[in-house]
Chains A and B, each alone.
Chain A
Amino acid sequence: MNAGRVAHIYRQWFRARLLSTIAWAVGLIAVVTLTAAFYPSLKDIFNNVGQGSGLESFLGLSGAIDPSSPLGFLWSNLYSNIVPWIMMALGIAIGAAAIAGDEEKGTLEYLLSRPAQRAEVVVARFAVLLTVLLLVALVVGIALAAVAPLFELTTATTTTAADGASVTNPGVSVGDIAAGTFAALAVGIGTGSIAFLLGAAIGRHGVAVGVTSGYAIAGYLLYTLSNVTGSLGFLTWISPWRWYVHDAMLITGLDWDVLLPFGLATICFAAGWFFFQRRDLRS
């Protein structure tokens, strides 16, 4: 493997993805800012209707979560749904495009007519997948850290429960945002890697997107329904939502489960390498 060629292939493909990456990042900045901007008004609504605490979430946290608290608000409105969905969608889009997308367009064949090895293409394209997800995650984290103080999200809140007890919830810290965003990045990488593997192994872009999206959606249903009904709990480990949502790392901080998507990504990368080396290119 030639590191110089890998770098050239990486740069070329990253440049090709740059505009779309910027578009995703701008979109996410808008989503994060808009969501944060609603916090001051929504916090008061929650307090006025007496729902300051006790909202049971089936998307993570076995205990209650207070949606009027800064962390609870961000979790229930951003980090338990929008951010991981978008990270997964982006991961699937790039993972499927990395090999299968370009193969179907015919651009990969011409690249491989040059002195580029298939292994070099796999390494460079997977590195772009990681880079783009990392950049978008950084943008999300930095944007949130920047706007949080503007919308009272870094300020501790105190709520009074029905029994008269007061509960003080801390404001969002940079560490919280980093932990939550890193966990979302991890699940995006894990899911994107599945699309990458499917694309590398079979060379069909539509199949890679469809199967991986189906897996993410089915995993969501499995995890949420299992939480509601209390059955099939052991199966939830195959769901990316179990790895991400269950521990609500935005609130509880990082734990070892965050490594699961990275382990999956490593396996998918190795398997993608293996299969792509051994098959015919599709014309």
Chain B
Amino acid sequence: MLLTCGAAVPLPRAVDTIEWGVPMASYVIETDGLTKQWGDLVAVNELTIAIERGECYAFLGRNGSGKSTTARMLLDFIRPTRGSARVLGGSGADPAVRARVGYLPGDLNLARSMTGRDAIEFFGSLGPAPDRSVVDSLVERFALDPSRPVHELSTGNRRKVGLVLAFMGDPELLILDEPTSGLDPVLQEEFRDLVAERKAAGVTIWLTSHVMAEVERVADRVGLIGDGKLARELTMADLRRQSTGRIVFSFDGPRPASAFSELPGVTSAEAEGSDVAVTVDGSTAAVLRKAGEMGASAVQTERRDLDDIFLELFEHTQS
């Protein structure tokens, strides 16, 4: 099933109070100058993001870029050196806030003696009791055998346990670190369906992933982090525009690429024979008008793979 990402569901600015006594804020995750530094190493540097209710935000970056450190600060495993982070209008240190969060770590480690069922019972007992039918449904959807000790399971099966645990409490916010890592394609599809359902119900999702096809299908917005700094934020609509932003014009003879270079939104223009290839970020109106004036005889658009765009963006991030 192709998952389409609608616009985030905006919350009214007014503050309501929910059952656990924690105010619901307009931004589900809000960081302001969030910084984590160990000695000379700045793992996260002045990170400022705001994620609305119902939004799916993909936090992308290379290994060691600060993604997991950010997640760990959101949940108060580690404390910021500077800046602040608010989750569901409160602090990740507050158990009432964490009761409303489903978390899937990059590597799920549970006690050796714990079976999947033990884990569901134990972690379910620490907060609001999960609905039994929801748990059963998740176990069935992910084809999980809950009777086996978690430490005996393969990486993919441990991931299933983690996903059941993350989703079972009907959380308002899901923090998912590489959620489909190790899952087979069928279960990846199941995961995407589940995310779509939860998003439709207004759940906010913050995830990290290296699978760009997955990001494309589930995310509304991406944040690119490099060396701890948020380099760029784009909506998926921005990314899709970039993916179709390369236009090749054919002329009856050679034309100078420089004629396009100065136009608004043009990031590159290259001439090759009687063709000129132009890459546009944003509106293509000016480029098309110019090509018409120059007598273009044919127009061809090229769809670039999202992986290529991400790689390009990461290169810009690094530089």
Contact = CB atoms under 8 A, between A and B. Distances in A.
B95 A110 contact: no
Interface string B64-81: 000010001001111100
Given A107-B109, A107-B111, A114 B123 contact: yes
Contact of A105 (B76, B95, B109, B113): B109
B285 to A, nearest CB: 48
B109 A110 contact: yes
Nearest to B122: A12
B127 A107 contact: no
Interface stretch (B53-61, B96-104, B253-261): B96-104
Contacts of A76: none
- Which of A105, A111, A280: most chain B Cβ within 10 A? A280
A109 B105 contact: yes
B107 interface: yes
Contact of A106 (B109, B122, B126): B109
A5 interface: yes
A281 B122 contact: no
B110 interface: yes
Which applies to chain A's interface (DSSP): helix, strand, loop or mixed?
helix
Contacts of B133: none
Given A5-B126, A8-B125, A112 B75 contact: yes
Interface in A100-128: 102, 105-107, 109-117
B77 A12 contact: no
Contacts of B95: 2, 5, 115-117
B50 to A, nearest CB: 22
B98 A115 contact: yes
A283 interface: yes
A204 B52 CA distance: 38
B7 interface: no
Contact of A280 (B77, B110, B114, B127): B77
A106 B77 CA distance: 11
A5 B129 CA distance: 12
B294 interface: no
Contacts of B108: 110
Contacts of A5: 95, 126
Contacts of B125: 8
Interface string A1-32: 01001001100100110010000000000000
Contact of B126 (A8, A15, A280, A281): A8
B196 to A, nearest CB: 24
Interface in A74-109: 102, 105-107, 109
A8 B78 contact: no
Given A8-B122, A117-B95, A281-B72, A112 B77 contact: yes
A168 B156 CA distance: 71
A113 B76 CA distance: 8
Contacts of B126: 5, 8-9, 111, 114-116
A114 B78 contact: no
A107 B165 CA distance: 14
Interface in B205-249: none
Nearest to B69: A283
A15 B110 CA distance: 14
A115 B105 contact: no
7 contacts: A5-B126, A16-B112, A109-B77, A112-B77, A113-B105, A114-B123, A116-B126
Interface of B: 68, 72, 75-79, 95-96, 98-99, 101, 103, 105, 107-114, 122-123, 125-127
Given A102-B111, A114-B127, A281-B78, 9 more contacts: A5-B95, A106-B109, A109-B105, A113-B105, A115-B98, A116-B95, A280-B79, A283-B68, A283-B72
